[in-house]
Structure 1
């Protein structure tokens, strides 16, 4: 009986040792990627208050010079068979895009098309006529007007570039939608900052794009807005990325 108890004790100790070894290894398989885009020039002047047209959202510069709405995402050609962290199973199944005060909110958003669907809501008292300028997914040329209701859109494959979304009744009303086959995408906030969490460790290539700046080539090696990054365990910080007025003028 004592020999049996000793064997059990050794077995449990070995299991505990294996858990101690395996858990740190699992924890090191993932890394977070972050950075901040700062515009070094003078922010564009806002519309005069007397104009009723909503503020132009194509280039939004924050108080600290941060550039909002820069799309940062893992390129599709580098996403085949990529590991997806279990935390992304908690993502909501619906992504919302609203007509509100005659603009789209949010201006830039992302969609993991295999897991999520787009819900477009009209919160204005007047009708809107949504239009998607897709390359690979197909929708009717003239979708029904949206009046105080919501519509569901399902995408069947990923898009190569962010999809322009327009309102045919209000030409200033626009948005952009990243439609991808994975959840590794984000856009910068009003401070120009971004974070993509729980990327698998290894070599990846990302795309950096903005509706007015185009493919962001903030550094010489960023050809066509493509960045090769080796993701290491834990935090991977690109720091402050300066965007000069020359890049704006080039577009």
Structure 2
């Protein structure tokens, strides 16, 4: 009887392991697309010089673009749109073996000409942070997490200095603002994620997310002026293929 139970237990364990392997072996694919403005392409606008009233000898040397809406003049592409995988009630996606660990290279956040660079960024939980101040005046980096209050940062970075920071400890629910209290026009947005399936659209509005698990997924699309572009955008990923959503028109940007 004991022998029979042992054989059954081994068989059951093997069956469980096989099922588990199969559940994670459906394959991997990519997602790509381009965000474009719906309607006419507006001319770029710049911050009025009378608003650059702090350290103007450094900050007012070059025009500072207003970056709430950034449109590529040639393609109509919308930059700085966040695209991120969404699951209800703490659900997490299967993660490709190559992407399990957060990047070892730091997320670099710079101050250039009294502008934060990059303006919109994905930060992975556990990824080191590196702050650079390329300007000849001090800046501070003040973050406003929505959920992870313990991860809030309010650090002064002296002129032409560099500072390294500990990784952020947990994901947030939305992209959240980053500001400089010394220069109030400076702002940026971070989306902090505990998985690799998030991206920000480039200058021409394009984005790519690689090595997604095959199957149906929900993504949230978010832009700082309009908020949610889509709360629940459904996408099907096929093994070994790239799913292209084509040109996705974004309204309300004029």
Per the shorter chain, which TM-score range?
0.7 to 0.9
The question of whether the paired residues in 2 share the 8 Å contact of 1:135 and 1:160 is answered with yes
Q: 1:142 to 1:153 in 2, by over 3 A?
A: closer
Residue 87 of structure 1 aligns to a residue in which SS?
Answer: helix
The equivalences for 1:223-234 within 5 A come to 225-233=231-239, 234=241
* Aligned positions, number: 215
Alignment-derived partner of residue 207 in structure 1: 220
The Cα shift of 1:81 comes to 4.5
> 2:156 aligns to what?
145
Q: Distance in 1 between matches of 2:127 and 2:135?
A: 25
Q: How does 1:131-170 map to 2 (within 5 A)?
A: 131-138=142-149, 143-147=154-158, 148-170=161-183
2:16 matched to which residue of 1? none
In structure 1, distance between residues paired with 2:172 and 2:46: 36
Q: Deviations over 1:166-218 (max 9, x none)?
A: 0011111111111011010001111111110010011211100000121114x
TM-score by length of 2: 0.76
Q: CA deviation at 1:248?
A: 3.1
2:32, 2:208 within 8 Å by CA — same for their partners in 1? yes
Change (3 A) 1:242 1:81: closer
The correspondence of residues 35-184 of structure 1 with structure 2, limited to 5 A, is 35-47=33-45, 51=49, 52=60, 54-62=64-72, 63-77=74-88, 80-88=91-99, 89=101, 91-113=103-125, 115-138=126-149, 143-147=154-158, 148-184=161-197
Query: What is the alpha-carbon root mean square deviation over aligned residues?
Result: 2.6
How many angstroms apart in 1 are the aligned matches of 2:96 and 2:151? 35
Return the alpha-carbon distance in structure 1 between the equivalents of residues 102 and 153 of structure 2.
34
Q: Which blocks of at least 5 consecutive residues in structure 2 are unaligned?
A: 1-23, 50-59
Unmatched segments (≥5 aa) in structure 1: 1-24, 218-224
Q: C-alpha deviations, 1:47-83, integer Å up to 9, x for none? A: 4698335111111100210000100010153873422
TM score, norm. by length of structure 1: 0.77
Contact 1:34-1:236 at 8 Å conserved across structures: yes
User: 8 Å contact 2:141–2:156 — kept in the other structure?
Assistant: yes
Deviation at 1:127, TM superposition (A): 0.4
The question of 1:196 aligning with 2:209 is answered yes
Stretches (4+) displaced over 4 A: 139-142
Whole-angstrom distance in 2 between the partners of 1:39 and 1:101: 28
CA contact (8 A) 1:78 1:205 kept: no
